Amino acid sequence: MTHRRLYAGSDLSRAVTIDDLRQMARKRLPRFLFEYVDGGAEDELTLRRNRDAFARHTLQPSTLVDVSNRTQAVELLGRPAAAPLVIAPTGFNGMLSQRADVALARAAAKASVPFTLSMAANVRLEDVATDAGGRLWMQLYWVRDRDFIRSLVTRAEKAGFEALVLTSDVQVSGGREWDRRNYRAGMQLSLRNKLDVLAHPRWLWHMLREGGPPRFANIRELAPPDARTVIDDMMTLGRNMDPACNWDDLRWLRSIWPRRLLVKGILSVPDAERAIAHGADGVILSNHGGRQLDGAISALETLPAVRHALGPDATILVDGGIRRGVDVIKAKALGATAVMTGRNCLYGVAVAGEAGALRALDIIRQETDRAQALLGVPDINALDERVLSGRTPIGFAPLRRELSQGVT
């Protein structure tokens, strides 16, 4: 049999899966940049566990059900969304393609789902609101300067952002060792990676046209007057991260933000309950895509318990490991209001900007639609644990033994 290979060309219409987009992005981007997007922390146990958590659940369809009319529409933070999808916050996107933050926001608007802008974006939040529109959420890292936080929150409110997302799991940066191996000192690429950059002329032309790596556009108030480069911005953000952030800070943030507030980085029932008690309108179960604490539990694994604790009406999003429409199905069946997707859309935007990001969303939505039909569930809101067989696939028996012994 001919060896199977994923598509890695340049024709976007031939990308039939997220893995195709990933391969296309791998070909287009220099090695160091693809590693930044694709990799995880330390031994990447959490990165793999995110995928394994979905694979351990099998589906049990119902047959002879009328599925001629299917819908993925959900209510999210009191407003309709065309699908239970949200583009997750990701930083430094301008390295992937021109004005990638705007491209991602536009793709989300066309798909009628929310987009979350990272505080480490390369486009000003006001420009994203003006140039893209749609449903916009703003992500916030907790920094020491409360005046800066207040200013950023005020800017987001004036620009029309409907929700604020506090990332709670970056007290310090995770140990992304494979990422760091691409540099010989500081942010200086190794000789091997410099040569690899020259082997990617399309990407290099993009950088030259932009005048070099784009800066973090929304943290200028934090940066010292002599900051001139994105490396200066990264050092500024790193120096200002506040590991003392606690529940009192969340309560203060709630007092200055009048709209919806979500806390991202929750992985336990007690923390989910505390977040709601301190004023959050919902929680995002997340281990930061496997990029922070290695060996952490996956969002999907903690989802049923959090749903049971918070009740049927709570807003609970999950991220980490979503690559297929059936993953959306499984998350919904276990109690998720919606899922967040980051890497999938980054692969797309790296390949073809807005069109690539929209292609990623379309692939997930098409797969979800097909899975609904084959499951016999025309309305995605009707999904619950009854569609899950509860049996562990044969191939995951070793992982099951490890879990029973407490190994993560």
Binding site members: 36, 89-91, 118, 139, 141, 167, 176, 264, 286, 288, 291, 319-323, 342-343
Ordered alpha helix ranges (H), 142-200: 146-159, 177-180, 191-198
Q: What share of the chain is helix, strand, coil (3-state, %, to 5)?
A: 50, 15, 40
Distance from C-alpha of 35 to C-alpha of 92, rounded to nearest angstrom? 13
DSSP-based three-state secondary structure for 43: coil
Going by their DSSP bridges, the two strands 115-117 and 136-141 should be labelled as: parallel
- Residues with Cβ within 8 Å of residue 105, at least 6 apart in sequence: 87, 115, 117, 128, 131, 132, 133, 134, 136
> Which residues are documented as binding site for FMN?
89-91, 118, 139, 264, 286, 319-323, 342-343
The separation between the first and the last C-alpha atoms of the chain, rounded to the nearest angstrom, is 37
Give the largest Cα separation in the chain, rounded: 68
| Cβ atoms of 284 and 319 closer than 8 Å | yes
Instruction: Give the catalytic positions in this structure.
Output: 288
Distance from C-alpha of 133 to C-alpha of 136, rounded to nearest angstrom? 7
Helix axes 201-209, 191-198, angle to 10 degrees: 90
Query: Residue 404: exposed, middle, or buried by beta-carbon count in 10 A (0-12, 13-18, 19+)?
Result: exposed
The encoded tokens of residue 17 equal 């899966």
DSSP 255-279: HH--SEEEEEEE-SHHHHHHHHHTT
Q: Which residues is 163 bridged to in the sheet?
A: 137, 260
Q: CB neighbours (10 Å) of residue 246?
A: 12
> Which residues are documented as binding site for glyoxylate?
36, 141, 167, 176, 288, 291
